[in-house]
Each structure stands twice: as C-alpha cells, then as structure tokens.
Amino acid sequence: MNIYSKQGGFSLIELMISLVLGLVVSAAVVQVMVSNNSTERLNRSIASAQENGRFIIARLRNDLIMTGRYDMLRPELNKDVDIVIEAAFVHNNPIPVVGDFSSGLTKGVIEGGGTASDTLMVSLQARKDCRGATHGYGPPFGPINEEFMVVNEYFLEGTSLKCRGFDGRVLRGHKVAVEDDSAYTLLDDVTSFQVQYGITDNIASEDNSARPVKFIDADTLGAEKAAGALVVAIRIALLLKADSDVLINPVPEFKLLNEEPIQPSEKRLYKQFETTITLRNSKNFARSRNI
C-alpha cells in the first residue's frame, strides 16, 4: 500500500483572500466598538449636564420662591428690632440694590459688565440662610425655629456658583455679626450666571394683578424701584459644562437672556438652562398696594 497520499488544502490566493476578509471584518468590529464607546461617553456627558442643571434649577427655585416673605404674626419671629419697620423694608426691597443697606453699602444685585456673570441678592424672613447658618438665632441662644431677616447672595466665582448668607439686621446696622460671611459652593462647572428682574407697576399695567410688565437688568432696577416698581419675578439663565472629556468642535454660541452671545473657549459639551420664578409674597404685597 502506498504510504503517501495526496493531501488537499488552501492555495496561497485563498489564504490571502481569507486574511483580507478577516481584516475587513475585524476593522468593522473595532469601528463599531469605538463608535459605541464614543456614543456612551456622549450620553454620559449629556446625562451629567442634565442632572446638574435639574439640581441647580430646583435648588435656586426652592431658595428664591419665598423671597419677600415677612409675617409679623409668626410667633417664631425674633422681635429684638422694630418688626413693623423691618417688614416694610423686606416687602419694599425683596431684591435689594446697592445702597439699600446702611451697614452694607456695597451689597445688592449687580449687573455683570459685557458677558460677565451677575450677582443676585434676595431678602426674606427665615430660620436660616442659604448655607444653613442661623446667625445666633434659635437653639442654644433662642427658641427653636426662631426666624429673622435673612439676606442671601448668589454669585459666580471662577466656575463655581456660590451663595453667601447674611443677617439682614447686621446689614441694616441694627446688630453685630456673629457668623462669618464665607461662601458655600452650590455647583461647579458653571460658565455663566445671568439674572433679570420682572417688575410690576400698577399705573403702567392699569390693574392690580401684580403681573410683571417687563424684565430688566440690575443696573436699571434702582431707578425703577425709586419710581414705584416692585420686583415680582426673577428670570435666571445658566450655562453649564458637562463633567466629561467629550470634545465638541466647533462649540456653538449660547445666548443667555438679553446678554451678548457666549462662545466657550473649551471644546467641551455645554448646556443652557433657564427658568422664571414668580415671587408670590411680593405679588401679594403688590396687590395690596393702592393703584
């Protein structure tokens, strides 16, 4: 018997064709994996920006919706000062402007020049400021849930949106501060913070509904207040940078409220958020005023 037998196999051409097909399939698989990875990173970036945006809008709304609140009948209200005069101040100045405070002459809302961010300040009756500080009211110094005149300030420092709280009685020169004015970071990766103020004017609107007749910037708010207008709404816009390394090229321009368009220098994912907050306490006070 012949110990040698003819063996079949692939030719060189067939092997080369197989290798080429294998490379094509492998390249397609790799491309799909890279595409899926990029899509996943983009989705994570969008989700991160959305989550941060929802958080800060909810936090600001929760803080600001009680602006202008002052109830002299509340038993928790500290009465170390003339609460009638203090009530009139809070009701007429829910949004303080520079010059309203005798011992805080530089404190008040500020309009950022150009595309710079704004500074927001609000006054109200509460148990604690935006940082959670009680400024010497409540236990162990006073009764539980003791309330006082709170003034909260919101501003952008670098890319951090921060808040700082004050005892309004200190700013008005009626007390000495017992707490520092250190700022608390609300959210990082904030590129821009812009604010407008909706004012009502009973004479201009010819009714007593306390509807905002127009939205203005901080630099004209003082003159409008002097003419009898009252802030009854706040419009806020923020530009947030996603917490990721996803590159976007080119980065689009963003227009926040009536400001000039902003084009971030970093080629990252950015998202814009806006909200309008009605100040119900200020609206109720405006309705109570005579036309």
pLDDT averaged per 10 residues, the chain (length 291): 58 74 74 61 77 94 96 95 96 96 95 92 97 93 93 97 97 93 94 95 68 93 92 96 79 90 87 95 83 50
Does 30 fall in a domain? no
Give me the phi and psi of 254, to 5 degrees please: -125, 135
Question: Residue 41: its pLDDT value, please?
Answer: 66
pLDDT at 205: 61
Is residue 28 assigned to a domain? no
Query: Would you say residue 149 lies in a domain?
Result: yes
Q: Give the range of the structural domain holding residue 153, as residue numbers without chain letter.
A: 43-288
| Residue 55 belongs to a domain | yes
Question: For residues 276, 283, 185 and 169, what is the CA-based torsion angle, rounded to 10 degrees?
Answer: 160
Residue 6 resides in a domain: no
Please check whether residue 12 lies inside any domain of the structure: no
The predicted pLDDT at position 190 comes to 95
Task: Determine the pLDDT at residue 63.
Answer: 95
- 2 in a structural domain: no
Say what the pTM is. 0.85
Q: Which of 194, 134, 188 is nearest to 162 (CA)?
A: 188
Number of structural domains in the chain: 1
Q: What is the pLDDT of residue 37?
A: 59
What's the confidence (pLDDT) of residue 269? 87
Tell me if 31 is assigned to some domain: no
Q: At 114, which amino acid appears? A: G
